[in-house]
Amino acid sequence: MLSTFKNIVLVFTIGLSLSDDILCQELDLSVVVVGPTSASSTDKSVFPLMEKAIKELANNQKWTTDHFDPNERIKCKMQLSVRSDNGNGNFKCDLLIDASRPVFGSAYETSLFVVNEKDIPISFEGYKPLENNKETYTDNLSALITFYAYYILAMDYDSFSLEGGDTYINILQNMLASLPGNAKGFDESWSSSSNKKNSRFFLLENLTNIRMKPFRRANYEYHRICLDNIAKSPESARSQMISSLEAIAATDVTYPNSFLLQSFLSAKRIEIIEIFKGGTMDEKNKVINTMSTVDPSNTTAYNSIKS
């Protein structure tokens, strides 16, 4: 009887341990893989398998040593659009990815960044699982998901504390430094010699470049000091947000047209417009002037703040 009781306790304890492991995953990634629109001989069943493999790596992997409750998991969305099928499981893809976090005191979630990458080569074998490539490169799709998992963490932690994402930025730097030459030759987005400025290499380079240090501070202030207090004190939050936006815009002078700034604008454009529709006329004019300078192609959209 005692032996039976011990077995029950052991099973219960193991069950709790497994539950803890499940509960502490950091990412809650939804994935859509879109097959090529042109006629292709590709077996279309490969794309659901690709979705499943990406989700399993992102959502089942333990990326940090921190504990995350289910409601704390970072929500992120990924769309991988297969532009061409090059045969033998080789594809050329475009990637759209964004991550969000909740805003304190509200039911609102704010997008941390939006990244749009083009012409990414991947190889995918339908039933082979993807792997964390933090230390060892196995294939480009695994490396791609690994990179963005740590990038999401870096940007999330940066939004809660000043330069709080340093741990994950260091992981990314080490990962890129250890990538073999054949990986960089296969996908130029890993390489400093790439002609693509909207690449993983330059996204990380922007984040660590001394010229973009003011961006990281202003990005933190935008989220933690301004957005997280906007429900409690909208006037004060808007006033401080203008200063943060001016500091972010100033980085376009010291480091023009950075990928990091573009990803911020893609995520925040509509949010900024909606926030300042409730501002004073002076606030509206300041924001329109600042954002139109750094994001001129969307001047008309910013002018809608006055409507």
What are 264-299's pLDDT values in tens digits? 999 999 999 999 999 999 999 999 999 999 999 999
Give 223's DSSP letter.
Answer: I
Is 105 within 8 Å of 232 (Cβ atoms)?
yes
């039933």: which residue's tokens?
Answer: 127
Measured distance CA(130)–CA(191) in Å, rounded: 22
CB contact set of 163 (below 8 Å; sequence gap of 6+): 216, 217, 220
Give 107's DSSP letter.
Answer: S
Confidence of residue 86 (pLDDT cuts 50, 70, 90): confident
pLDDT at 236: 96
Nearest to 94 by CA among 123, 124, 117, 77: 117
Measured distance CA(97)–CA(112) in Å, rounded: 11
Mean pLDDT on 174-184: 96
- Global pTM? 0.91
What digits encode the pLDDT tens for the residues 102-131? 999 999 999 999 999 999 999 998 888 999
In whole angstroms, what separates CA 301 from the centre of its chain? 24
What is the percent of the chain with per-residue pLDDT over 70, rounded to a whole number?
91
Question: How many helices (H) and strands (E) would you count in the chain?
Answer: 11, 4
| 3-state SS assignment for residue 114 | strand
Pairing mode, if any, of strands 27-34 and 74-87?
Answer: parallel
